[in-house]
Structure 1
Amino acid sequence: MSERNLIRGTMILTASIFISKLLGLIYIFPFQAIVGLEGLALYSYGYVPYTVLLSLATLGIPLAVSKFVSKYNALGDYRTGQRLFQSGLIVMGITGFVAFLALFFLAPVIAANVLDTSDLQGNSIEDAVFTIRMVSVALLVVPVMSLIRGYFQGFQSMGPTAVSQVIEQIVRIIFILLLTFLIINVWNGELGTAVGFATFGAFVGAIGGLAVLLVYWYKRKGNFQKHVEESTTDHQIPLTNMYKELLRYALPISFVGLSIPMYQMIDLFTFNNALSSLGFEQGEIDKYFGAFVQAAHKLILIPVALATAMSLAILPTVTSAFVNNEKDRLQRHITQTYQIILFLSIPAATGLSVLAYPAYGALFGLDDLSIGGEILRHYAPVAVLFSIFAVTSSLLQGINRQKYAVIALLSGITLKFATNALFISWFGPVGAVYATALGYASAISVNAWAIGKYAEYSYNLLFKRMLLIGGFAVAMGIGVWAVNMLVQLALPMENRGSTFVILPITIGAGIAIYGFLGIRSGLAAMILGHRFKFLKKKTKVSEEG
């Protein structure tokens, strides 16, 4: 495949991921309107352990299969990739089935350790068990579907993965919203029933995505077989050696992908018990948990997705510079990657923190504004840490030092586990946010150290730029706070409609302030001028910062 087609395929896949993430964000607003924060909490009680077990069932193998198949295809050995794919379907089927059984039968244990059996308010253990078991069925399908996607990608064919991801998400969301609305508002059903069927949407969506892949497979199986028959070589690698090589690719990918689910898993088993010991009732605990793990979490992923997407586009050049031992070029691209992530995520997180209450009110309503707004205000700055961790982990993969990303993840998770209950006892519900921030800060420190050591990267210039970005973000935050206060004097935040007036005005003010400072100082031109040509016309800051 030509480089042009490869780039086109990568862009298609990136667009599909962005669309899927966007849909996954948007649907949470009507879903929360139907089931409330207690429903979001119940949904999380099922979805968090499902996500962890899914990651363990697949172990990053689908992406590793893509790399493995691509490698041997390039060597003219299509037969080895086919053997891996055929055996991989069996392996993924078995691991998916084992994961399904584990989650299905452990559901009562998980629910009993999450919820207070003596508190009759809030979600019940029976509802949590039902929810966990409903989502567990998806484990029978998703690992196999992921492997098929990896095989297509190994042939540099991104279309099947892209289309199936979007269809999977659309089918899942339609099923969730339609069925929960019918159960609660038309059939007057129970919240636990509605949320249980909502998590079952993961299985229904997976069936939709798998159906798309099978259509593509039926159309292209002749072409795949033709490649196999025309193989110029056959390495005849034993399956054991094949899987050893596969796991070398897969494990670092798997561990880094487990980051957020593992942090949320710790919250799942400690958050409720810690708040219960402080005297919180189960109904209130459910609301805080729903706001933390679902509502606020979805919002802070907006700046994470934007910043990460723009910075990751540079990573192939980082790999190229490292492989070719072009040290100066490597330094420039690492600096550029860091700068983009900081330039975009710091002001976004600052603005979201300052505007936490109107933002939450506009998107989720005013019913639980005190809870949701409080969590979001403290959680928003953690978006910067999420972004930096994702990018530094990718940079380590680019310089072939993936093991340090795994070490970083383990150090962060250990710190989160050790401090979560303690911080909650000290600071209340937001203590879990602080423990997450501390864990990610620890992980980033390990990643940054490894990049500095093995890429011989100096942070002096970046530190100066970070101070400048931080100063601009603080100035923007003060300006946004002032505008917010002035607008609310004329239009108090008494109903949801007022938030839709307040939010655009204050966001516009923030963009104007930060944009003015960034452009006039030349910082925007230095960081984003290669992407937005008009910025190059502005005055540039010196290379010394």
Structure 2
Amino acid sequence: MSKDNFLRGALILTAAGIIVKLIGSVNRILLSRLLGGEGIGLYQMAYPIYLLALSLSSAGIPIAISIMVAEKIAVRDIGGANRVFRISWSVLAVTGLLSSLLLYWGAGWLVEYQLIRDARAYYAIAALAPAIFFVTVLSSYRGYFQGLQQMTPTAVSQIVEQLVRVAVMVWLAYVLMPQGLEYAAAGASFGAAPGAAAGLVVLMYYYWHRRPYLPQPRETVNGRDSGWRIMKRIVKLALPVSLANIMLPVVSSIDLLIVPARLEAAGFSIQEATELFGYLTGMATALINLPTILTGSLAASLVPSVAEAFTLKNSGHIQNRVAKAIKIANLITIPSFAGMYLLATPISAMLYGAPEAGISLRVLSVGVVFLGIHQVSTGVLQGLGRTAIPLVNMLIAAAVKIGLSWYLTALPALGIQGAAWATNVDFAVGALLNLYFVYRYTGFCPRLGNTAKTIMATILMSIMVIYTYDAAMSAWLNNTMATLAAIAAGSLVYGASLLLLGGVEERDVAGIPKAGTFLAKLLRHLQLFKKK
């Protein structure tokens, strides 16, 4: 069974991530129309519980399993890799079943003790219980395939899971609506279970179909880890990753407590503070997360690749992988920062009909570069087995963010921009601390030459963006058309400039899966590659 190369694996996961997000966007629109505000409220009371289960099972555990499987595969201990999978599957099946039963029987307790204020949400919470089991078992398969550096099974299962989940959610919400709003919300919640079950079936198919093609193990394998030792290491690797994933909603909750209150201290009314907070968290934050779909996929693809090289003590391979990942991250995040900074107000007006959100987006766009580096460096450290380090760095960065949010947001001259700058500092501190530890354990230093070429191409792109937007607005007097024209023209100039400056070489283009060879020939024919 051939492995996906590092870049191919990242692109496969990126494509899946984009499709999943598009399906999710359609789901939000349909569900909102079906359930209305009150029904969505009941659904949202239950949904965070599902997200908590996902943060525990879909983040930490697959990464831990992928690290251990990659380590075994590196020394051709195929039996050991399969043993890691079998033991993790068995334990997760038991814990998933217990968690499902606990949630089902505990739903009434949550309502009884007023942790869930609306008693009607009981049905939505209980309906989520089966999903916990399937999601937990699902995570063992995803970790196994990622450890084999096979990203296609994970990508396909994610798409199938989302498709089935959304279809069942919408259908059950529609069918149960005549029975009452609480039953319709419960039907929407239940959709997570058949979705996860469908994703699990896909992964089981890949597992049984591809098993005969696994490379044969060596005749002798030194030592054999006990089941207890395997599970102990999985917990050791997975726990910091899961805690880091849980921190994201925790920090968001802290923002909810701090930012609106400090805006009021700066002189804004309650209504103004709420509106500004919505612009920052509901609009600007969603946009800066878009470029990081690729960097997040790079991080996931890096983990088993780095783990394999680290096991073989191949430091050169690790440094090459890190350099390529940082280069790709910068190629995406640096122009994304410039584009969102320059077109912050037009983009906000085009997408949300709220040009006021551009103030937050312009400031927050600076953090895109650091966020991309943070994700990639986290993947490297996880691949090295140092999963606790990104968690500690995230805690330090979060503490800095909380302090700055408290101080800067209350300054009348900054207001909501102060909260945005605090978020940027959060990303920067986490990224820089991670890079320090990457250097400490691998000796890798960022290559400034490639970054300089990317910055130069971005400057040329920015000039074209400004010129095109102003010219289009003068000609059409239509913000949407002018914004789209500026984005298109800027993208073309950025791509051409990058090729002519040597920021992307022919071998980089040729390495793109499927279309790389054709694109390299076409660009060479157009003489867009820098001459050596």
Q: Any conservation in 2 of the 1:57–1:95 contact (CA below 8 Å)?
A: no
**What is residue 150 of structure 1 aligned with on the other side?**
140
Stretch of structure 1 that moved more, 40-49 or 438-447: 40-49
Find the aligned partners of 1:263 and 1:143 in 2 and give their Cα distance. 27
Find the aligned partners of 1:134 and 1:348 in 2 and give their Cα distance. 39
Amino acid at match of 1:491: W
Q: How far 1:200 moved relative to its partner? A: 7.3
Find the aligned partners of 1:179 and 1:286 in 2 and give their Cα distance. 34
Secondary structure, in 3 states, of the residue corresponding to 1:457? coil
Find the aligned partners of 1:252 and 1:439 in 2 and give their Cα distance. 19
CA deviations over 1:353-401 (Å, ceiling 9, x no partner): 322233233333x2xx134333323323322222111101112233443
**What is residue 123 of structure 1 aligned with on the other side?**
none
**What is residue 24 of structure 2 aligned with on the other side?**
24
CA deviations over 1:66-89 (Å, ceiling 9, x no partner): 555785982268677445423322
Q: TM-score, normalised by structure 2?
A: 0.74
Q: Name structure 2 gaps, 5 residues minimum.
A: 215-219
Secondary structure, in 3 states, of the residue corresponding to 1:509? helix
Q: Which of 62, 72, 78 in structure 2 is aligned with 1:74?
A: 78
Q: How far 1:351 moved relative to its partner? A: 0.7
In the superposition, relative to structure 1, how do residues 167 and 393 fare at CA in structure 2: closer, same or farther (>3 Å)? same
Q: Any conservation in 2 of the 1:176–1:197 contact (CA below 8 Å)?
A: no
In the superposition, relative to structure 1, how do residues 147 and 17 fare at CA in structure 2: closer, same or farther (>3 Å)? farther
**What is residue 86 of structure 1 aligned with on the other side?**
90
CA deviations over 1:167-217 (Å, ceiling 9, x no partner): 33234445677899999xx99x9xxx79x9779745413332224535875
Q: How far 1:506 moved relative to its partner? A: 0.7
Q: Which of 386, 399, 403 in structure 1 is aligned with 2:371?
A: 386
Find the aligned partners of 1:163 and 1:300 in 2 and give their Cα distance. 26
Find the aligned partners of 2:58 and 2:86 in 1 and give their Cα distance. 18
Q: Which of 408, 422, 426 in structure 2 is aligned with 1:439?
A: 426
Amino acid at match of 1:403: A
Q: How far 1:45 moved relative to its partner? A: 8.3
CA deviations over 1:458-487 (Å, ceiling 9, x no partner): 33xx23433442343244224313322332
Amino acid at match of 2:60: G
Note if 1:412 corresponds to 2:392: no
Q: Any conservation in 2 of the 1:69–1:151 contact (CA below 8 Å)?
A: no
In the superposition, relative to structure 1, how do residues 27 and 303 fare at CA in structure 2: closer, same or farther (>3 Å)? farther
Find the aligned partners of 1:350 and 1:37 in 2 and give their Cα distance. 36
Q: How far 1:158 moved relative to its partner? A: 6.8
**What is residue 122 of structure 1 aligned with on the other side?**
none
Find the aligned partners of 1:215 and 1:238 in 2 and give their Cα distance. 29
Q: How far 1:20 moved relative to its partner? A: 1.5
Q: Any conservation in 1 of the 2:173–2:185 contact (CA below 8 Å)?
A: yes
In the superposition, relative to structure 1, how do residues 502 and 420 fare at CA in structure 2: closer, same or farther (>3 Å)? same
Find the aligned partners of 1:313 and 1:474 in 2 and give their Cα distance. 30
In the superposition, relative to structure 1, how do residues 164 and 261 fare at CA in structure 2: closer, same or farther (>3 Å)? same
Amino acid at match of 1:438: V
Find the aligned partners of 2:40 and 2:363 in 1 and give their Cα distance. 19
Note if 1:165 corresponds to 2:158: yes
Find the aligned partners of 1:323 and 1:530 in 2 and give their Cα distance. 29
Q: How far 1:443 moved relative to its partner? A: 0.8
Amino acid at match of 1:154: Y
Find the aligned partners of 1:61 and 1:425 in 2 and give their Cα distance. 40
In the superposition, relative to structure 1, how do residues 8 and 483 fare at CA in structure 2: closer, same or farther (>3 Å)? closer
CA deviations over 1:111-161 (Å, ceiling 9, x no partner): 9xxxxxxxxxxxxxx68x978994685365235423234236537687765
| Superposed CA RMSD | 5.0
Q: How far 1:437 moved relative to its partner? A: 1.1
CA deviations over 1:14-65 (Å, ceiling 9, x no partner): 6434421343356567788999999999998876676356424777224434
In the superposition, relative to structure 1, how do residues 523 and 410 fare at CA in structure 2: closer, same or farther (>3 Å)? same
**What is residue 301 of structure 1 aligned with on the other side?**
289
Amino acid at match of 2:55: S
Q: Name structure 1 gaps, 5 residues minimum.
A: 112-125, 493-497
Find the aligned partners of 1:211 and 1:292 in 2 and give their Cα distance. 36
Find the aligned partners of 1:321 and 1:18 in 2 and give their Cα distance. 29
Find the aligned partners of 1:470 and 1:173 in 2 and give their Cα distance. 41
In the superposition, relative to structure 1, how do residues 44 and 212 fare at CA in structure 2: closer, same or farther (>3 Å)? closer
Q: How far 1:282 moved relative to its partner? A: 5.3
**What is residue 237 of structure 2 aligned with on the other side?**
249
Stretch of structure 1 that moved more, 524-533 or 428-437: 524-533
In the superposition, relative to structure 1, how do residues 181 and 80 fare at CA in structure 2: closer, same or farther (>3 Å)? closer
Find the aligned partners of 1:164 and 1:207 in 2 and give their Cα distance. 12
CA deviations over 1:437-469 (Å, ceiling 9, x no partner): 11111111111111222211233xx23433442
Q: Which of 191, 204, 218 in structure 2 is aligned with 1:204?
A: 191
Q: TM-score, normalised by structure 1?
A: 0.73
